Amino acid sequence: MPQALTFEKRNILVTGGAGFLGSHVCEALLRDGHHVICLDNFSTSDVRNIDSLLQNPNFRFIRLDVNQPFDLEQFSELAEFKLPFQGIQEIYHMACPTSIKKFDQFKIQTLLSNSIGNYYVLELAKKYRARILLASSSVVYGSRADKASSVTEDEQGTTDHLSPRGCYDEGKRFAETMFETYRQVHGLDIRIARIFRTYGPRMPLFDGQLIPDFILSALDGNDLVLNGGLNFRSALCYVTDVVDGLQRVMKAAEYPGPVNIGSDVDVLLKDVAQKVLEMTDSTSKMVEGENFAFLSELALPNINRAKELGWFPLVRLEDGLRRTIEYLKANKILLTSI
């Protein structure tokens, strides 16, 4: 087998790169000195997430929808990356609408992203023989079976494919099937990361995302709305830990199979809300909110496979909340302006 060419700077594609998690992935790759191509159509993301990256000579943003055919070699702004010669070495496939309050609005796009969008991106990976990572989700395991147990990657889980959120839950299962089929048929070097609930700077505001809305409400003296109910539980992993996990999955010498990336520490969201109140010196109150289809109690991850890759969540909840609070304080006027 001919030896693969090596390049001083890798060309790395991040689909959904202007999203909450995708933008942090772009930042990390730029810090490592790579060329980063960011694709996004801003359906549930924001250009402000990548504002600080746009002047970086190693960063290129292309606004497009991965659910439509595209040829990156046709974009003149990518000429310096020499795609016809160098190609693309890695792809982080993050593109899929994620919105709690607007979930119904993006159901068809979600369905397409988990099928047609995957096809176009997998075909691109096949063309360039790129290693490709799928940002899958803990939703493939379905709702948690009991309060205490955690799930390993070998557990199949169950989802209601006809439920109001089936386009996302069953869609992610089908996305994994597509990636595995391309590995079996085309020998594609795939990676699958099952991401659990993540928080940190750049989470969308006013969308039912619990952590940023807690903080903003506390800063403004408004009630903290506990969507999902007073007894809603979840594991929370800080965004930089998740990005580190994704990079370790991508860099693994051999395909380890799907890998759970998330915190295995269960917390009550009302306890998190109380921490936010204390850390912001707020006198706001907690009130019970709505039960959204896209907001549900999910399984806890068993992270032993991730630990074998040298990964473990390092950021304590208190430290992650503090960083997120500082970010929202510093950017509050900009982020809440229309």
DSSP notation for 91-151: EEE------STTGGGGHHHHHHIIIIIHHHHHHHHHHHT-EEEEEEEGGGG-B-SSSS-EE
Catalytic residue status for 168: yes
Say which DSSP state 240 is in: H
Rounded Cα–Cα distance for residues 196 and 264 (Å): 9
Catalytic hit among 92, 128, 141, 168 = 168
Pairing of strands 233-235, 266-268: antiparallel
Q: Which residues contact 293 (CB under 8 A, 6 or more apart)?
A: 103, 104, 163, 164, 165
* 143 CB-near residues (< 8 Å, 6+ apart): 296, 297, 298, 299
218's tokens: 């506390």
Catalytic residues: 168
